[in-house]
Structure 1
Amino acid sequence: MSDRMTPIPFGNLMNWILKEHKKGAIFGVRRPFVADPSHTYEIFGRKLETPFGPAAGPHTQLAQNIVASYVAGSRFFELKTVQKLDGEDLPVNKPCIKADDECYNCEWSTELYVPQAFDEYVKAWFACQVVAKEYGLGAMDGFQFNMSVGYDLEGIKLEKIDKFIEGMKDASETAIFKECRQWLLDNADLFEKVTKEDIEGISPEVCNCATLSTLHGCPPQEIERIARYLIEEKKVHTFIKCNPTLLGYEYARDMMDSMGYDYVAFGDFHFKDDLQYSDAVPMLERLQALAGEKGLEFGVKITNTFPVDVKAGELPSEEMYMSGKSLYPLSMSVAMKLAKDFGGKLRISYSGGADYFNIKDIVDAGIWPVTMATTMLKPGGYQRLEQIGQIFAKDEAKAFEGVDAQRVAQLVEAAKTDKHHVKAVKPLPSRKIKRPVPLTDCFVAPCEEGCPIHQDITTYLKLMGAGKAEEALEVILLKNPLPFITGTICAHNCMSKCTRNFYETPVNIRRTKLEAAEGGFEAVMAKLKKPEITSGKTAAVVGGGPAGMAAAYFLARGGVKTTLFEKEEKLGGVVRNVIPGFRISDEAIDNDAKLIEAMGVEIVTGREIGSVDEVKKDYDYVVLALGASTPGVLRLEKGEAMNALEFLAQFKATDGNLDLGENVVVIGGGNTAMDTARAAKRNKGVKKVSLVYRRTKRYMPADAEELEMAIEDGVEFAELLSPVKLENGVLYCKKMVLGDYDASGRRGVVETDEVVEVPADTVIAAVGEKVPGAFYEANGIALDNRGRVQADQETLETSVAGVYAAGDGLYGPATVVEGIRDGMKAAEAILGRAVAEDLFSLSDEEKIYGRKGNLVEEDEKDVDSKRCLSCNSYCENCVEVCPNRANITLTVPGMERHQIIHVDYMCNECGNCKSFCPWDSAPYLDKFTLFANEKDMEDSKNQGFVVLDRETGACKVRLQGKVTDYVAGTASDVVPEGIAKIIGTVIRDYAYML
């Protein structure tokens, strides 16, 4: 494998478009945007059907990228920058893109040689015009190209760059223009709507405008000289890219810190070395006047990407460039300053975190055209542009009348609290499944993989979307006997894994589960019948919390006579007795208890079990679901802290009427600490609750949702404090500071000599509970050196035969759904079989593809399952996020789901697909790969194939490091059936890729 891309010859490019269109797509874009040719903007004396398109970057490097962008709705294309360093002389560390959150890159200009880049742009110029007419997407002249050049005057004056500029202005005498034109004329019969007159009418004037891109540190005099050269000598409409460094270091640092990007590291040297705002304004005024004299348009392009330090190994470089949602407030701030100081008369083209949610506001403020990259690098990819196109299809195009400075200022202010730009309290957990991606059938639902009980989420979401709550609840109950509890307080790891996190917000799976429980409960209860006892064995479950309830449910449903012992008067464990009522109602817990009872479980409450041997006399199997009942202890030099679970139990028993004083301090950073702080905030007489933790919120173990709810309730976070002693109503704490980043990107914490005093009438410690080791030891159950039960990882059987341990009492405090998982494991070990099989049915293709690329926030009045992307039916993230279209979706006869292959010659190893593949893999390295020739295959380690002869089907195939000769369509002991089908399908149905 090489990171060098091989451009597709124009004839092959057009053949690909024509053939793939018959399959319902063009370079993977399935929903084309259809423009109204009578509805146009105008800039540089040319028409523009929509005021947006791709920024100079990965989406404007190859012809197919530009075509895909056009089909999806783009009409303004800022072509990737050309400069004197090109091709193999250009150093680009790979991978070079990381876009899973705010975006980073360490590439800046075309990786092709300049003449190759020119050819790609001319090919795209022809292809877009043909596609426009042939498929009715708009007028042939309804779009524009904008060349981007850099980085210094000496380089721009080089022959190859000068030839590029002149060729873009008039390509009529260039070889590639003649080649494209002639191919179209020779193959005019392939088109239904494009005529020879249309082809002959394609203008050679590819581009009449340029955007100047300069490197950081370029002197203002040099910038002005280049701009003058472009205006006076090259006579092109000219925009100058401005950097966010114009804002000054303090402004940028304060903005980033206030919006949660305090971890983004950058020094002040760029701000000192780059163009200063005081120099920029007079320079822009001079250039604006010059362009006016020459009858040309002039403006600024806001902004270039923002240089930041690599601290957590994000990319293999020392410095990288930030873009996307975090760049938006900075870019818009530059626009605000310039709009104000120029009275709105300076034209502004925009790039910097634009997407579906903000682009209309940007354009309505008079800032356009708008170009984008980051949003297209995320799942949905180019298809996201179609939804953006629909915004402008509804509005009347307006002529440029100036930039509304007041409106831009409002956008800057709004960005500071906009959830689409403010960094979440905690980073999103990794979506990766800790297994390598399969070569075939790789589509998987990350939500289901992330669920400890592997709940059939996509199945019940589909049922809820169809209004079938009863059927949905029946699916849920196959693996989850506590739908009300989990539908209310589940930590919902499934939602953390949801692909929608890369769109806007995850599908609200937990809410949908609760809606299914509430909507289907009565009907399901009416149908439930006590299972027949089919086993001669009996089981006792000790502990009526989630793990015990689950174990009893599954055992009874499996035909085992089961008794559940609970020391309290009602089932529910910690959920009922500790978790505050404002989190979950007793009614919800009671409903789940009814489901346990309906299985015929004998429930014995008010009885505490002390001897396992006594229970074993009457039962064949015992499941210990005891909970982590030993209180965690915080030792202070002076004073004592109340235990969090004891507090929560008393809070619930007294309905929040404990005598705590006015100032309460909670020590800890987990979910229990959040519940404790929120409960204390509601307790009678409490005025202030401070949550003390030795690190910052970002590093607290609590779920992001728990943190956010505590913040909303008014809990005050006393971060970077380590408690020392409690004395005279004051908790004395050592001040901590965050240290530097370690290899994993985590910041250490260092104690200082500074002491901070926190008012504290009561201190409550939420420092973790421990397993009841003394109980286990008393009953002869072996423990490890950490005092935890030594249990079989798969069966959870302890050292005592027939005795199993589950829930918090096994390894310590965990989530409700992890308790259910343990109860399920123990039940399956006793039953000798799985309690339920995984469910899957292929989702409706048209419906799911209709959702891809559409950003839609949750509507609490609607069924949220309508936002589900059915990833186990149609994942295709790697296909969608690849700028070069190097990952391809295949329809393979005889295989239920689509298959993915990687096309080696189209890939530059940018690495973007790795960020979004749910597997612990990089598709560009790990998916089955199509090579253009034997040499490319030899240069790579990828598993894949090369077609040696299309007619005979002769191939070479590499699998697990071994290369084999293979003839498509023949049986082979070496080539698995699925791989053989893929190879045969490529040769037969996708020969245009060869």
Structure 2
Amino acid sequence: MGKVTGFKEFERQDEKYTPVDDRVKHYKEFTVPLSEAEITKQGSRCMDCGIPFCHSGCPLGNLIPDFNHMVHQGEWQKASWLLHSTNNFPEFTGRLCPAPCEKSCVLGIIEDPVSIENIEKNIVERAFKEGWIKPQPPKTRTGKTIAVVGSGPAGLAAAQQLNRAGHTVTVFERDDAIGGLLRYGIPNFKMEKEIIDRRVAILEAEGISFKVNINVGVNYDVKELKAFDAVVLCGGATERRSLPTPGIDADGVVQAMDFLTQQTKVVFGQEIKDQVLATDKDVIVIGGGDTGSDCIGTSNRHGAKSVVNFEIMPKPPGHRSPTTPWPYWPLQLKTSSSHQEGVERNWLINTKEFIKDKNGKLTALKTVNVEWKMVPGERPQLIEIEGTEKTWPCDLALLALGFTGPESTLADKLGIERDARSNYKAEYGKYQTNVPNIFTAGDMRRGQSLIVWAISEGREAARQVDLYLMGKSNLPSKDMSGDLVTL
């Protein structure tokens, strides 16, 4: 694949960012695209691997060496066809995926891995620009109707696949616009929402019906779902994790998703009463993941006085840890573009108290340094280090602690069993709940996870629904041990 000696001749090149002083003044994407000639070189770095491990690294099973080769050859339309054969929404993954494929790239053993994610983004953007991505409604309809609850990547993928099979699909979204966490949980500077609208317009033209402001089980009676032949629940894992810490009820302690959602709605002209702003405030973001990073970038755009980040885990090494050798996902320090915009990062630190004034307003955080005690066969123990207590000035504390699982409303009202982690119970590969015509996929089934897993599960669940309704399916599947299909 690619140029036989490409990986020896060309170094990895990534997109550059516009200067920090410029980009923190707006909420637009700020990457500087590589030239077509440079992207072609990057595609040629893909080695002629005997076994391309990038396939196993990607939950979608993307045909990575194949589309890299097409880019190297200048066959962009073929590259787009190959990319879309396994991934419904490469414009999302090309911007937001942490790229497990790159972490398992064979070239990554000795050099920087192939820039797979950026190549993917360039392929799909070229395809939209050239008009290659067009609505493809099914030629015939089966007469079967399907309700998809939730319009995140899992729901959208399931809906498109089921529509391609000829079923009539209705997608229900409780928010005022389609996209799930892609819409309001991801800041605009990471993905402008016109990217979602562009794809949704294609899906609508293919015949999918979208209903917004419909919260199934709340303002839409679950009995109405009986009108559908099958239901696919893709509501995500939206129960937010909190802390059992004194003072957490202080005015100024805010869940990260509330903070991020408000700002995205304001970007699109919505008026938010009492919007939470970081302007001129000492901000502390608790949680070191992607959501925490998004809060840091947003706080800097608000004009925060200071931004500090707490993480209770140890600081990861700068390079791949020996405990996570190739091709596994590496334990390694991640520095995002938001971190580069200004933040003080702290590891092995635990919040002991949110300090508030007599009016209940947050004024400071009290912390202690910690260490983890590892005992073979036992759960790690968190040990506080005496004499390390510290008080930090803080007007706004943002809780970016992830999610504990899906909300229980639909499970309770539909009689769906849940597993030990509170996820909606459905066997991987089957996606069918204990209620035969109700399926579930994405974070609602597996817990908080990656966008590529959501799309993969949506696709795979769609095939199982099709099999349930029709007894056979021509929809593609990663698992070729069952009914063989073509892409």
For normalisation by structure 1, the TM-score amounts to: 0.38
* Structure 2 unaligned regions, length at least 5: 10-48, 319-328, 357-362, 468-472, 479-487
1:474 to 81, 97, 105: 81
Counterpart position of 1:651: 263
Match of 2:423 in 1: 788
**Number of the residue aligned with 1:638:** 247
Query: Deviation of residue 834 (structure 1)?
Result: 6.0
Identity over aligned pairs, percent: 27
Partner of 2:114: 507
Alpha-carbon distance in 2 for matches of 1:814, 1:625 = 13
Partner of 1:691: 309
The correspondence for 1:763, drawn from 380, 387, 397, is: 397
> How big is the shift at 1:458?
1.4
Q: Is the 8 A contact 2:315 2:348 kept in 1?
A: no
1:620 to 221, 229, 236: 229
C-alpha distance in 2 between matches for 1:775 and 1:837: 28
**Partner of 1:642: helix, strand, or coil?**
strand
Q: In 2 relative to 1, CA 528–639 (structure 1 residues): closer, same or farther, beyond 3 Å?
A: closer
Judge conservation of contact 2:186–2:294 (CA < 8 Å) in 1.
yes
Equivalent residue, structure 2, for 1:963: none
Q: Distance in 2 between matches of 1:659 and 1:529?
A: 43
In the alignment, which residue of structure 2 is the partner of 1:301?
Answer: none
Cα separation, partners in 2 of 1:549 and 1:498, compared to 1, 3 Å: same
Deviation string, structure 1 residues 46-101 (Cα, Å, up to 9, x no partner): xxxxxxxxxxxxxxxxxxxxxxxxxxxxxxxxxxxxxxxxxxxxxxxxxxxxxxxx
2:179 to 561, 567, 572: 572
Equivalent residue number for residue 414 of structure 2: 779
Corresponding letter in the other structure for 1:822: E
Answer yes or no: is 1:715 the counterpart of 2:343. Answer: yes
Instruction: Give unmatched runs, 5+ long, in structure 1.
Output: 1-29, 32-379, 388-441, 839-994
Q: CA deviation at 1:547?
A: 0.6
Q: Looking at both structures, which has the greater relative contact order when contacts are Cα pairs under 8 Å and sequence separation is at least 6?
A: 2
Quote the residue 2:156 is aligned against. 549
Is it true that 1:488 corresponds to 2:95 in the alignment? yes
Structure 1 residues 588 and 474, CA, compared in 2 at 3 Å: closer, same or farther?
same
CA 659–673 in structure 1, closer or farther in 2 if over 3 Å, else same: closer
Partner in structure 2 of residue 798 of structure 1: 433
How far the C-alpha of 1:522 sits from its partner, in A, is 4.6
> Tell me, what secondary structure is at the counterpart of 1:794?
coil
Aligned length: 400
Q: Give, in angstroms, the shift of residue 624 of structure 1.
A: 0.8
Residues 501/612 of structure 1: CA separation in 2 closer, same or farther (3 Å cut): farther
**Aligned partner of residue 540 in structure 1, secondary structure:** strand
Residue by residue over 1:152-210, the C-alpha shift from the partner in whole angstroms, topping out at 9 and shown as x without a partner, is xxxxxxxxxxxxxxxxxxxxxxxxxxxxxxxxxxxxxxxxxxxxxxxxxxxxxxxxxxx
**2:435 partner amino acid:** V
Which residue identity lines up with residue 692 of structure 1 in the other structure?
F
Task: Specify whether residues 830 and 737 from structure 1 end up closer, same or farther in structure 2 by C-alpha distance, changes over 3 A only.
Answer: closer
- The reply to whether residue 736 of structure 1 matches residue 348 of structure 2 is no
CA distance in 2, matches of 1:494, 1:811: 20
3-state DSSP class of the match of 2:316?
helix
Matched residue SS, 1:617: helix
Deviation at 1:713, TM superposition (A): 1.8
How far apart are 1:688 and its partner, in Å? 1.2
The one of 293, 309, 321 aligned to 1:674 = 293
Choose which of 458, 461, 475 in structure 2 pairs with 1:835: 475
Give the drift of 1:472.
Answer: 1.4
CA gap 1:703/1:793 in 2 versus in 1, 3 angstroms: same
* Partner secondary structure for residue 453 of structure 2: helix
Q: Is the CA contact (8 Å cut-off) linking 2:234 and 2:442 kept in structure 1?
A: yes
Whole-angstrom CA distance in 2 between matches of 1:574 and 1:706: 22
CA RMSD of aligned residues (A): 3.0
> Are positions 1:810 and 2:445 aligned together?
yes
2-structure distance, mates of 1:647, 1:681: 13
Alignment check: 8 A CA contact 1:615 1:622 kept: no
Residue by residue, what CA displacement relative to the aligned partner does 1:517-556 show, whole Å, maximum 9, x if unpaired?
Answer: 1111254556543112342322111111111100001111
Q: Does 1:459 align with 2:66?
A: yes
C-alpha deviation, 1:600, in angstroms: 2.0
Alignment partner, residue 485 of structure 2: none
Q: 2 CA distance for matches of 1:598 and 1:742?
A: 57
- Cα deviations across residues 281-314 of structure 1 (Å, max 9, x unaligned)? xxxxxxxxxxxxxxxxxxxxxxxxxxxxxxxxxx
Letter in 2 for 1:620: D
Q: Is the 8 A contact 2:222 2:413 kept in 1?
A: no
Question: After the TM superposition, which residues 926-965 of structure 1 pair with which residues of structure 2 at under 5 Å, given as runs?
Answer: none
Is the CA contact (8 Å cut-off) linking 1:553 and 1:596 kept in structure 2?
A: yes
Distance 1:507 1:666, change over 3 A: same
AA paired with 1:678? G
- Letter aligned with residue 635 of structure 1: P
SS of equivalent to 2:189: coil
Work out whether residues 293 and 338 of structure 2, in 8 Å CA contact, stay in contact via their aligned partners in 1.
yes
Give the counterpart letter for 1:764 in structure 2. Answer: L
Q: Which residue of 1 aligns with 2:383?
A: 750
In 2: Cα distance, 1:742 partner to 1:498 partner:
34
Of Structure 1 and Structure 2, the greater helix share is in: 1
How far apart, in 1, do the equivalents of 2:441 and 2:210 lie? 18
Residue 673 (structure 1) shift: 1.7
Instruction: Judge conservation of contact 2:134–2:202 (CA < 8 Å) in 1.
Output: no
Q: Secondary structure at the match of 1:822?
A: helix
**Secondary structure class of the residue paired with 2:207:** coil
Q: Is the 8 A contact 2:183 2:193 kept in 1?
A: yes
In the alignment, the residues of structure 2 paired with residue 699 and residue 781 of structure 1 have an alpha-carbon distance, to the nearest angstrom, of: 42
Provide Cα deviations, 1:596-623, integer angstroms capped at 9, x if missing partner: 2243212222322226743432211100
Asked if the contact 1:670/1:702 (under 8 Å) is kept, the reply is no
Deviation at 1:451, TM superposition (A): 0.7
> Secondary structure of 1:516's partner?
helix
Structure label with greater radius of gyration:
1
SS of the equivalent of 1:707 reads coil
- 1:94-118 Cα distance to aligned partner (Å, 9 max, x none): xxxxxxxxxxxxxxxxxxxxxxxxx
Deviation at 1:760, TM superposition (A): 1.2
In structure 1, how many angstroms separate the alpha carbons of the residues matched to 2:347 and 2:334?
16
Q: Whole-Å Cα distance in 1 between the matches of residues 266 and 317 of structure 2?
A: 33
> Which whole-Å CA distance do the structure 2 matches of 1:500 and 1:817 have between them?
22
Structure 1 pair 695/799, CA: closer, same or farther in 2 (3 Å)?
same
Query: What residue identity is the alignment partner of 2:301?
Result: R
Distance 1:806 1:703 in 2: 27
Q: In structure 1, what is the equivalent of residue 359 of structure 2?
A: none
The whole-number CA distance in structure 2 between the counterparts of 1:510 and 1:454 is 14
Instruction: Give the 3 Å change call, closer, same or farther, for CA 526–637 of structure 1 in structure 2.
Output: closer
Q: Distance in 2 between matches of 1:480 and 1:764?
A: 34
Residues of 2 paired with 1:638 and 1:495: CA distance?
Answer: 43
Give 3-state SS (helix, strand or coil) of 1:809's partner: helix
